[in-house]
Structure 1
Amino acid sequence: MSAPFRFPRFFVTTPAPCPYLAGRIERKVFTELSGPHAGELNDALGRIGFRRSQNVAYRPSCVDCTACVSVRVVTGEFQPSATQRKTLRRNADLEVSACKAWATEEQYELLRRYLKRRHPEGGMVEMDEHDFADMVEQSPVKTYIVEYREPSQDGRPGRLVGACLTDQQADGLSMIYSFFEPDDERRAGLGTYIILDHIVRAGNAGLPYVYLGYWVEDSKRMAYKSRFRPLEKLGPGGWRRFDPEQRELALG
């Protein structure tokens, strides 16, 4: 008799410079997601801090560093702040659709503008059309690309101003990667709006969490994740409520 599915085999990457903290070295542990049970495996790994990239699930496994902390928003208790409510009102006219995970030229051009403005030194800036298509379309789990467009005119779709590659897991939505128009003053706060929209979507679907990936206390690039409360972080004892501001005061 054979087992219903094979226990995953895990591997470790070669150490490389950390993209978040200068002078640190990162290392990841990863496994392949494949076969009929890929979704179940991805759900289980997501609950213990793994993230998906194409057909691989990974999480940090750095020597002498635990700065990367998995965080998720509790959708049923979330209440937007005054600033977040203003962002919701400003972008309330956007037309949002969850599409099949299929890459388009329009999405790619938006990504290029976003990376050039927001992450010009990042590793993704060299991504070409084929790399982008692989990122979006190579998924063995239930994946969507959520598009944010300005109002349609004369039956034609409006301008694409944001997009997010999103996995639907058993207990929540996992935001794999989002990007948006970086230089449109009329659409200030688009990144925040995309997260807020995912929280609403998850709540409406009865999903208790929105997974935001990793939060790094000393990384300015990650600071925005702490603005969505209540927030939970994954530690040795499992998922626990987390207030970054209180933590900063305690450390001070």
Structure 2
Amino acid sequence: MRHTLPLAPQFYVTAPQPCPYLPRRMERKLFTALQGEQAELLNDALSKQGFRRSQNVLYRPACADCSACLSARIRVADFKPSRSQRKARNRNDDLMRSTGAPWATEEQYALFRRYLESRHADGGMADMDIFEFAAMIEETPVRSRVVEYTGQPAEGSAHRPLVGVCLTDILDDGLSMVYSFYEPDRAKRSIGTHVILDHVEMAREAGLPYVYLGYWVPGSTKMGYKARFSALEIYKGGAWQDLGDPGDHGSVTHPLSVAPIAEQVARISLPDTRSTG
């Protein structure tokens, strides 16, 4: 008879740095390494507790006096697109979706650069070179896919131009949109909205109950679009709950709004891999 203990990853905290979402605030992250044969179990378990994946790391905000960042996911069975979202879907019904292994290409990187320069020129990824981009896409210890969206070929050409990309993790209860980017020159088509709607459909077809969107941050214009999706849940106070009225969730800082790091770690539920044989 053999027994194995529950996973016991080590957790660390980053040094404070300027918050990318809210002005005049400092960001700090709680993180752990994601590696080994139990990586998928850990990714599944911690994603349900507000963590996100970046390459081989799982992280969650743990700012000293701010708890504005809230993990968000769409409840697939109850989702109904709004009128504007239906229009976005119709505007992009000529796009072709393809999925493949997490492998970076030069065409992806060129699109990524155009997207950053248009939308996030002053963000933390602005200086990312092609090797760092390849690492972001390819360094994954879990089930991941690159979902590409291509447009109609130009006259006289057979090549369908790449207009949208999403790095997507397959969790045991949903699809996690790790990072997405799209053609900024086609802003009126709302390709970003289309990519989310398409992931909802993919999750529905696969029988997965959720689509994880990353963090929604009240008060941040960059993250405000997520609140426009129906059946949205947020991870707040250690539990998932309906978003309700976005105005009910503030971004006010307070020195007692965040539990000490040791207490946060103690509350994390780890996957149990005990087996008998």
Q: For this structure pair, what is the TM-score category when the shorter chain's length is used for normalisation? A: over 0.9
Q: What is the rounded CA distance, in whole Å, between the counterparts of 1:99 and 1:4 in structure 2?
A: 35
CA distances 1:77-114 after superposition (whole Å, capped 9, x unpaired): 11111111111111001100111100000000000000
**How far is 1:156 from its partner?**
3.7
- Tell me the secondary structure at the aligned position of residue 30 of structure 1: strand
Q: What is the rounded CA distance, in whole Å, between the counterparts of 1:225 and 1:17 in structure 2?
A: 22
TM-score by length of 1: 0.94
Amino acid aligned to 2:49: I
Q: Does 1:133 align with 2:134?
A: yes
**How far is 1:236 from its partner?**
1.8
Does the Cα contact within 8 Å between 1:226 and 1:244 map onto a contact in 2? no
Partner residue of 2:191? 190
Q: 2:170 aligns with which of 168, 171, 180?
A: 168
**How far is 1:2 from its partner?**
6.8
- Tell me the secondary structure at the aligned position of residue 43 of structure 1: helix
Partner residue of 1:107? 108
Q: What is the rounded CA distance, in whole Å, between the counterparts of 1:33 and 1:209 in structure 2?
A: 22
Partner residue of 1:120? 121
Q: What is the rounded CA distance, in whole Å, between the counterparts of 2:23 and 2:243 in structure 1?
A: 25
Partner residue of 2:91? 90
**How far is 1:62 from its partner?**
0.7
Structure 2 gap segments, 5+ residues each: 253-277
Amino acid aligned to 1:213: G
Does the Cα contact within 8 Å between 2:49 and 2:238 map onto a contact in 1? no
Larger radius of gyration: 2
Partner residue of 1:58? 59
Partner residue of 2:263? none
Structure 1 gap segments, 5+ residues each: none
Q: What is the rounded CA distance, in whole Å, between the counterparts of 1:131 and 1:244 in structure 2?
A: 39
TM-score by length of 2: 0.85
Amino acid aligned to 1:105: E
Structure 1 stretch displaced more, 213-222 or 5-14: 5-14
Amino acid aligned to 1:73: I
Q: Does 1:11 align with 2:12?
A: yes
RMSD over aligned Cα atoms:
1.9
CA distances 1:155-212 after superposition (whole Å, capped 9, x unpaired): 9440000000110100000001100000125x52011110110011111110000001
- Count of aligned pairs between the two proteins: 249
Q: What is the rounded CA distance, in whole Å, between the counterparts of 1:169 and 1:32 in structure 2?
A: 17
Partner residue of 1:243? 244
Q: What is the rounded CA distance, in whole Å, between the counterparts of 1:128 and 1:246 in structure 2?
A: 38
Partner residue of 2:39? 38
CA distances 1:26-74 after superposition (whole Å, capped 9, x unpaired): 1101000111010000000000000000000000011111000111000
**How far is 1:133 from its partner?**
0.3
Q: What is the rounded CA distance, in whole Å, between the counterparts of 1:88 and 1:179 in structure 2?
A: 17
- Counting aligned pairs with the same residue, the percent is 51
Does the Cα contact within 8 Å between 2:218 and 2:246 map onto a contact in 1? no
Amino acid aligned to 1:192: T
Regions of 4+ moved over 4 Å: 152-155
Judging changes above 3 Å, is the alpha-carbon distance between structure 1 residues 127 and 246 closer, same or farther for their aligned structure 2 residues?
closer
Does the Cα contact within 8 Å between 2:168 and 2:178 map onto a contact in 1? yes
Structure 1 stretch displaced more, 205-214 or 1-10: 1-10
Q: Does 1:25 align with 2:23?
A: no
- Tell me the secondary structure at the aligned position of residue 192 of structure 1: helix
- Tell me the secondary structure at the aligned position of residue 199 of structure 1: helix
Q: What is the rounded CA distance, in whole Å, between the counterparts of 2:48 and 2:6 in structure 1?
A: 19
Amino acid aligned to 2:164: G
Structure 1 stretch displaced more, 135-144 or 153-162: 153-162
Q: Which has the higher relative contact order, 1 or 2, with Cα contacts under 8 A spaced 6 or more apart?
A: 2
**How far is 1:150 from its partner?**
1.2
